[in-house]
Amino acid sequence: MPRNWILTLLTLAFSISALPAEDPVAQFDAANQAYEVGDYETAIELYRSLENDGHVSAPLYLNLGNAYYQNQQLGHAIATYRAGLRLAPRRQSLVQNLEFVLDESTEASTPPPVYTSFLLRLSLNEWTWLFVLPFLGFSFSLILRRLPACQNWIRPTTAPLGALSVVGLIALIFAEMEWNRDWAVVTGGETTARFGPLAESKRAFTAAETAHLEVVDRKGDWARIINSRNERGWVSIDSIDIYTDRR
Amino acid sequence: MTPPRFSYVRNAFFLWLALNVGAATTSGQPMNDGLSPMRSQQSTRDPAKTLSAELRPSEVTLGQIARLEVYVPGGAPGALDVPSVPGLAIELNSRAQKYEQANGRVLKNGWVFEYLLQARRTGTYNIPSIEWRGQSTEPLQLTVVEPSFDIERLRQSPANPTGNRAFIDLIPERDTVFVGEPFRYTIQIAQVRGVVRDIGNFQFSPQGFTLAPIQPDGFIPRDETHRIGGNDYTIRLLSNETMARAVKAGSLEFGPASVDVEFLVNNRRNSRTFGGLLTGSYKSASIQSDPVTINVKPLPTEGRPEEFNGAIGQFTMTQTVTPKKLGVGDPLTIEIKIGGKGAMDSVRLPKTFDWPDIKTYEPIVDVSYSDAIESQGVARFEIVARPESTDVTEIPAIQFAYFDPRDATYRTLEKPPVAIEVAANSSRNAATEIPNSYSAKNSRNADERLSLTHIQPRPQFLARIPTPLVYNGLFWTIVLAPICAYGTYLGARKAQEVANRDSDAKRQREIQREIDAQLAALEEYAQTGQSTEFFEGLSVAIRQFIGLRLGVTPNALTESVVYEELGQHYEDTEAIESLGELFRLCDAAKFGSGATQHTLSERLTQFREATAALPPLN
């Protein structure tokens, strides 16, 4: 009897995995094929479908960004590359394509502050390990100091490891704050930022397509943003791509 | 209100002045003010005493009112004889006294007659000299041009929501255009002077047309007045630069344009209460222009060159090629500038050129405009080409075709072939010679090969997007476990030490209490002379005291221990000796002491002094 149950479960599992519509790799290949023949809209649709189903990776974001670029949707392309860099911050292909598209966009690319670039150079997990490893070393050095056999060689390591732990902790706190900020890219042409989250609100400023904006608040279909000139306003969420939401 | 007395004096003064002036002019002599003979000569140059006329403005649009001001020196001039001009209606509007003085000198002292002039047709009107008592004005000329505003239409327009206090008018430059051909248009608002307070919510989005960006200056007032139906209308113009293009052929409706105006109703401007402004109230209404039909013609198919790809306007072309001597595979740059007037964004070149043995890349396009409505400018094309053979001796001719809507014909611009020399061996690395600007700008296909990383074949999907470790409670539990264990160990040890200290203190307090009780008993034994009980009790007290001070068991104490242990911790040998002596006496008393009450009391005092000299150890 138990053998029958196992067979039934195995058969069911095999059947589910064999469904073509559920195969993300096949869908990825189909999207690549559409891209290669120049059907960029189909490629975008298939890549986005994979992303919405939770099948994400740096190559997916690279390919999707390329498809957006070829479809002349520069804002979406930039947002997609940046979303990919959140997964793999130092992926050379993503960095290169992002720089390429930024160079081509009409909006002057304002480089982010040095500390922001520095903190986003490593992933949040990498910053966590940069704190945790010296901290564990510090913890064990304190414990081993109690053992007479280890006292001589372990004692000089305690203070440096403690100092490294403090520096690592401060860096982790700032990195966590930086990684939790929401960013968006203007898509679909120039957009108007208003003083309030209403279409009737007065115009505050305009943001060109591909402009990089920080999202500081949201209300309904509106997002409060800050641009590189530190101007604040509300824009419709439809006019921007909040790529940090793709986590 | 002028007081009657002053009014009488003033009238008398002007009457006297008029008589003087009349006498002077009728006699044919210069006006003599009676002050000096030279004054009569100067009087012709003295502006205060010279007849003059001024026309404002000297050029008007048809329907617009011009004002003719005639200054008559002196007083009570009566009526002026202004000659009639054919086609020009001249009407006396007002007559007022005028007196002007500057730096103590009288500039004007007389009367000003204001006439309103309105022409029936366009043209130039000569206004002859106006004669008055021997003086005459210079002849004047009024130019009347076609109005930019459809006055007649407004004149015939039915009442709109503002009661004809304001109109909006949409005037395209032409009513027949080709598809894609830029044309200008104007939108104007005419409003009764001083009645409209606010203008807003401008709406204009004609179907089938694209509009050049409208400058956000709003409606700009113009120095222009028109009289319609007894009211003076002032004009506001929406930007000086507006341009539109039709995107499809057919009879298309251009407009309407609408705007919201806030205007004064129940206007009693002639009221004496603050000019009537307080007696009126404001009301909002939307006014709308009449739609204008524009006939949009398709571009003719006859005579359309092969090279034509949609450019409309009037253009010129220049071309440069650099370098002209290069190696096989080396890049050269062909720069083509097409400038002129028209739809600049329609100026395009082919993406690639099918030239034998020359590989070309898609051009970089850079369009610069010389006006705000993007109706004229220069499109600059930068084409990178690589000769792939030494047989290449020239860059072939490049042609550019456009449609000129002025005469509805296609024209083709052509630059002749440019000779180049291609050497067999390239001394340069071709892969690095593409200009930087080329690799950075609009050349999709070529750029992809040069800079854009191609799509990846393998998805490398993540099983799931992991929650960052920083938010993982289990992770932090493991990381913090060693330090927590160490802290727990340290804490437990500290607590044990504290507990031990507390235990010792408690025991010492108990022993001290026992010693105190023993001393009380010894006091009683000493007073009653019970020597045996006294020394037994004293022995117990000494042992307890030493045990308390040294932390040892009292029963195991011997005399040698007393000396050695106390000697190690205390320096007061006299007190130690005293305790040792008492210790020996106690041992000896076991065999009978027979001490008196006095002796017992002394021993008790000796014990108290010795114990006082040996305080507790730290």
Q: Is the pLDDT of residue A128 over 90?
A: yes
> Which residues in chain B have Cβ-Cβ distances shorter than 8 Å to A57?
459-462
Interface subset of B 211-240, CB within 8 angstroms of A: none
| B69-73, B458-462, B524-528, B583-587, range with the lowest pLDDT | B458-462
> Which residues in chain A have Cβ-Cβ distances shorter than 8 Å to B468?
123-125, 128, 179
List the structure tokens of B482. Answer: 């060693």
Unique residue bearing structure tokens 């001001």: B69
Cβ contact B457–A32 (<8 Å): yes
A23 and B CB contact within 8 Å: no
List the structure tokens of B31. Answer: 């006006």
Q: Which residue has the higher pLDDT, B258 or B443?
A: B258
Report the gap between the CA of B338 and the closest CA in chain A (Å).
22
List the structure tokens of B96. Answer: 């007022």
Q: Is the pLDDT of residue A3 over 70?
A: no
Each residue's pLDDT tens digit, B93-135: 888 877 777 777 777 788 888 888 888 788 899 998 888 888 8
Which residue in B461, B462, B478, B486 has the most chain A C-beta atoms within 10 A of its own C-beta, making it the best mutation to test that interface? B461
Each residue's pLDDT tens digit, A33-49: 888 888 899 999 999 99
pLDDT at B478 (0 to 100) = 92
Interface subset of A 103-122, CB within 8 angstroms of B: 103-104
Q: Which residue has the higher pLDDT, A62 or B215?
A: A62
Confidence of residue B484 (pLDDT cuts 50, 70, 90): very high
Q: Is the pLDDT of residue B191 over 60?
A: yes
Confidence of residue B594 (pLDDT cuts 50, 70, 90): low
Q: Is the pLDDT of residue B319 over 80?
A: yes
Q: Is the pLDDT of residue B39 over 50?
A: no
pLDDT at B593 (0 to 100) = 61
Query: Is the bond preceding A112 in cis, omega lying within 30 degrees of 0?
Result: no
> With pLDDT > 90 as the criterion, what percentage of chain A qualifies?
34
CB B337 within 8 A of CB B318: yes
pLDDT at B464 (0 to 100) = 67
Task: Please state, in angstroms and rounded to a whole number, the distance separating the CA atoms of residues B459 and B22.
Answer: 108
Q: Is the pLDDT of residue A130 over 90?
A: yes
| A173-182, B342-351, B550-559, range with the lowest pLDDT | B550-559
Q: Is the pLDDT of residue B154 over 80?
A: no
Confidence of residue B34 (pLDDT cuts 50, 70, 90): very low
Average pLDDT over chain B reads 77
B333: how many CB neighbours lie within 10 A of its CB? 17
pLDDT at A240 (0 to 100) = 92
Residues 6+ apart with CB under 8 A from A59: B455, B456, B458, B459, B460
Report the gap between the CA of B478 and the closest CA in chain A (Å).
10
Task: Please state, in angstroms and rounded to a whole number, the distance separating the CA atoms of residues B69 and B113.
Answer: 6
pLDDT at B16 (0 to 100) = 42
Phi, psi angles (nearest 5°) of residue B465: -75, 110
pLDDT at B555 (0 to 100) = 73
> Which residues in chain A have Cβ-Cβ distances shorter than 8 Å to B436?
none
Report the gap between the CA of A62 and the closest CA in chain B (Å).
6
The identity of residue B63, as a single letter, is G
Confidence of residue B579 (pLDDT cuts 50, 70, 90): confident
pLDDT at A22 (0 to 100) = 59
Cβ contact A124–B469 (<8 Å): yes
Task: Please state, in angstroms and rounded to a whole number, the distance separating the CA atoms of residues B81 and A77.
Answer: 80
Q: Which residue has the higher pLDDT, B179 or B3?
A: B179
Report the gap between the CA of A2 and the closest CA in chain B (Å).
31
Q: Give mean pLDDT, residues A80-98.
A: 90
A93 and B CB contact within 8 Å: yes
| B208-212, B247-251, B541-545, B594-598, range with the lowest pLDDT | B594-598
Q: Give mean pLDDT, residues B374-392.
A: 85
Report the gap between the CA of A213 and the closest CA in chain B (Å).
23
> Which residues in chain B have Cβ-Cβ distances shorter than 8 Å to A176?
470
Q: Give mean pLDDT, residues A140-153.
A: 86
| B22-36, B224-238, B292-306, range with the lowest pLDDT | B22-36
The identity of residue A129, as a single letter, is W
> Which residues in chain A have Cβ-Cβ distances shorter than 8 Å to B455?
32, 35-36, 59, 62-63, 66-67
Q: Is the pLDDT of residue A94 over 80?
A: yes
Residues 6+ apart with CB under 8 A from B541: B515, B518, B519, B522, B607
Confidence of residue A247 (pLDDT cuts 50, 70, 90): low
Phi, psi angles (nearest 5°) of residue A222: -120, 150
Q: Enumerate the β-bridge partners of residue B105.
A: B102
CB B544 within 8 A of CB B518: yes
Confidence of residue A228 (pLDDT cuts 50, 70, 90): confident
DSSP letters for B551-579: TS-GGG--HHHHHHHHHHH---HHHHHHH
> With pLDDT > 70 as the criterion, what percentage of chain B qualifies?
80
pLDDT at B494 (0 to 100) = 92
List the structure tokens of A32. Answer: 């690549």
Q: Is the pLDDT of residue B529 over 50?
A: yes
B441 and A CB contact within 8 Å: yes
| B198-212, B306-320, B387-401, range with the lowest pLDDT | B198-212
Cβ contact A60–B461 (<8 Å): yes
Q: For residue B65, what is the DSSP state?
A: -
CA distances to B21, B30, B79, B137, B343 from B27, in Å: 10, 8, 20, 20, 72
pTM over 0.90: no
Q: Which residue has the higher pLDDT, A212 or B270?
A: A212
pLDDT at B274 (0 to 100) = 46
Confidence of residue B275 (pLDDT cuts 50, 70, 90): very low
Average pLDDT over chain A reads 84
Q: Which residue has the higher pLDDT, B217 or A61?
A: A61
pLDDT at A111 (0 to 100) = 63
Q: Which residue has the higher pLDDT, B443 or B97?
A: B97
Confidence of residue B481 (pLDDT cuts 50, 70, 90): very high
Is the ipTM value over 0.90, yes or no? no
Q: Is the pLDDT of residue A127 over 90?
A: yes
Confidence of residue A131 (pLDDT cuts 50, 70, 90): very high
